[in-house]
A and B are shown apart, each in its own frame.
Chain A
């Protein structure tokens, strides 16, 4: 998984730009920041669309033949080519492509013959459910682990947490998932196997949000809820382990930075208990960059769940994209890529904005 361990942009909380060289009026600075954020968003989305457009052009699949089959006469072929806009110059095709994408038009999936956007709406909640539970696991376990590692720096417990974290970066997620299934499902029989829910309960709850845990709780179907929760344990723990590895490492380094500050010495001299110094004062300040890290890791999990979804036959976005890919369903693949990319970019920006809001110095 592409977690950014060292000083890549994803790992470093975004710094307020402008280097503080020119002191500007607060209002102007705020307006500038909003504009800059909007411009970045627009640029990045444009870049994303350019890349998917380019990929769509280099694919060795003729979109006309894909639409009409390969037994058409030349006249029909030409007509469909014009209908699809393929006779236009490239830049005009690209403009049309952007316009369609902005309206959520990603074409039809060859595999399911639904509009791609409908398919994505159907599968996205499953991915969201998985990534959210995994992030919760990562935060609940990762933040305390990082704090403990920072306060016991250099001791055996610090080393254990460090090695566990590095192992989390190093283990192939698809393999860990298979091993988890082997041990907890096949051998010990503690947990249910692949899938999102027992077949028996399939379709028993009307999808409202698409998140089974919420839907079944709303409907009061607690058997379904239990089944869904059971199926969620293993994939969410495995994804959560990755999140934990990343979050605990970043927490440790943020905490070390805070614990060296003078206000910590002041708090200690004031006679505060060590617990208050560490958990309230130091962690209180470490939360600011941590929030951005958590938002970024959430985005990475949304995309990183591809392999996990395959291993656990989890009917989410990653499963959908890969499945379409193996069936040469390019509309679905590119539509899925755009959606994941847009969510990812949105989370990146959100973390940037959160950082500005939370850190008074960046305001």
Chain B
């Protein structure tokens, strides 16, 4: 028996192996190929960078901020950008705008994440159950979805916040109530395409219960479309939340929420333009980042929409 040392496997070769030895290797390989595809799209990569920037700033922003978000220095009110110690200027109470924007990233990220973790599972559950069960369950659930889908989103969120009272939690609830239906639609459409597949039949013949099939076989396959949708929805969620903040119905002052900051800067727009411009630009960058990222992810995960 000759002992020839096997060629030292590089991690790259392991990832791109055509005959993966384990499900884990296959999964990692698929992710890696997706990443290689994704990397070729400069717009998507820049979107990813902007989204990561939001997360990093939300995590370490307070450490970077030169001042506290509520720290008022009444001597230095409405200083223009570039003033010593205040890179992006100050607002009407002498608070450092840069610091407030950095702190505000946390609020934005919190809202987006909370809405996403309410909405995606809810829509996924409604859609897969409707699609898999069919019949009367499908009809009832989809009618309900259609009713919610037919509502004007911002107006309904406005009315809900009016009823529940302003504040971040209620803004999250209002946005979540108005944004789950598209997820249910997507999940149902995906479920309908796979419910007659052989592997579903195999699971059923092995005696798996419908719930087990929905959770074990159907939901994992719907996840990639839902992830794309979540990413593309992020920007919409950010904009509605900021809009509610701007109207005074979301986060309440003095909280450094970006929409509320734009609203307070509106009073000084003509002479001190930076007070409203800077936080609005932050909203724009983050929301554009998520849109670019979602666009790129869609090309990778959902080749039918390619282009």
Which residues of A pack against B, CB within 8 Å? Answer: 1-10, 40, 43-44, 47-48, 51-52, 55-56, 58-60, 153, 159, 162-163, 166-167, 169-175, 178-179, 181-182, 186, 252-253, 256, 299-300, 302-304, 306-307, 310-311, 321-322, 325-326, 328, 330, 333-334, 336-337, 340-341, 344-345, 348
> Separation in Å of the B151 CB from the closest CB of chain A?
6
B143 touches A43 (CB 8 A): yes
A44 touches B288 (CB 8 A): no
| Pairs A–B under 8 Å by Cβ, sample size 6 | A7-B189, A56-B163, A58-B163, A303-B153, A337-B152, A345-B150
Provide the main secondary structure of the chain B interface.
helix
A325 touches B158 (CB 8 A): yes
Q: Which of B43, B144, B149, B243 contacts A174 (CB 8 A)?
A: B243
B102-160 contacts to A, CB under 8 A, are 143-144, 146-156, 158-160
B159 touches A334 (CB 8 A): yes
Q: Is B211 an interface residue (CB 8 A)?
A: no
Complex Cα distance, B152 from A320, in Å, reads 16
Q: Which of B259, B266, B284 contacts A170 (CB 8 A)?
A: B284
A321 touches B158 (CB 8 A): yes
Residues from chain B with a CB closer than 8 A to the CB of A2 are 153-154, 178-179, 236, 240
Which residues of B pack against A, CB within 8 Å? Answer: 43, 143-144, 146-156, 158-160, 162-165, 178-179, 181-182, 185-186, 189, 228-229, 232, 235-236, 239-240, 242-243, 246-249, 259, 262-263, 266, 269-270, 273, 276-277, 280-281, 283-284, 287-288, 290-292, 294-295, 298, 305, 307
Complex Cα distance, B160 from A54, in Å, reads 10
Residues from chain B with a CB closer than 8 A to the CB of A47 are 144, 147-148, 150
Q: Smallest CB-CB separation from A58: which chain B residue?
A: B163
Residues from chain A with a CB closer than 8 A to the CB of B189 are 7
> Separation in Å of the B269 CB from the closest CB of chain A?
6
Complex Cα distance, B147 from A40, in Å, reads 9
Q: Which of A174, A303, A322, A348 has the most CB of B within 10 A?
A: A174
A1 touches B154 (CB 8 A): yes
Q: Smallest CB-CB separation from B178: which chain A residue?
A: A2
Q: A2-B240, A179-B280, A181-B269 are in contact. List 15 more A-B contacts (CB 8 A).
A: A8-B182, A10-B149, A10-B182, A47-B148, A59-B163, A172-B243, A172-B280, A172-B283, A174-B263, A175-B284, A178-B277, A303-B153, A310-B247, A325-B159, A341-B150
Complex Cα distance, B242 from A175, in Å, reads 10
Given A8-B185, A326-B248, A175:B155 Cβ within 8 A: no
Complex Cα distance, B307 from A311, in Å, reads 36
> Separation in Å of the B297 CB from the closest CB of chain A?
11
A48 touches B147 (CB 8 A): yes
Residues from chain A with a CB closer than 8 A to the CB of B162 are 55, 59, 325, 328, 330, 333
Complex Cα distance, B156 from A340, in Å, reads 10
A171 touches B155 (CB 8 A): no
Q: Smallest CB-CB separation from A330: which chain B residue?
A: B162
Instruction: Across the A-B interface, give the 10 residue pairs with the lowest CB-CB distance, nearest first.
Output: A175-B280, A47-B147, A303-B152, A8-B182, A170-B288, A2-B153, A170-B287, A55-B163, A59-B163, A337-B159
Residues from chain A with a CB closer than 8 A to the CB of B243 are 172-174, 306-307
B156 touches A51 (CB 8 A): yes
Given A51-B156, A159-B43, A169:B291 Cβ within 8 A: yes
Given A182-B270, A330-B162, A340:B284 Cβ within 8 A: no
Q: Which of A51, A166, A307, A333 contacts B246 (CB 8 A)?
A: A307
Q: Which of B153, B162, B284 has the most CB of A within 10 A?
A: B162
Complex Cα distance, B162 from A162, in Å, reads 37
A169 touches B185 (CB 8 A): no
A344 touches B152 (CB 8 A): yes
Q: Which of A6, A51, A182, A252 contacts B151 (CB 8 A)?
A: A51
B269 touches A172 (CB 8 A): no
Q: Smallest CB-CB separation from A339: which chain B residue?
A: B155
B151 touches A341 (CB 8 A): yes
Complex Cα distance, B151 from A178, in Å, reads 28
Residues from chain A with a CB closer than 8 A to the CB of B281 are 175
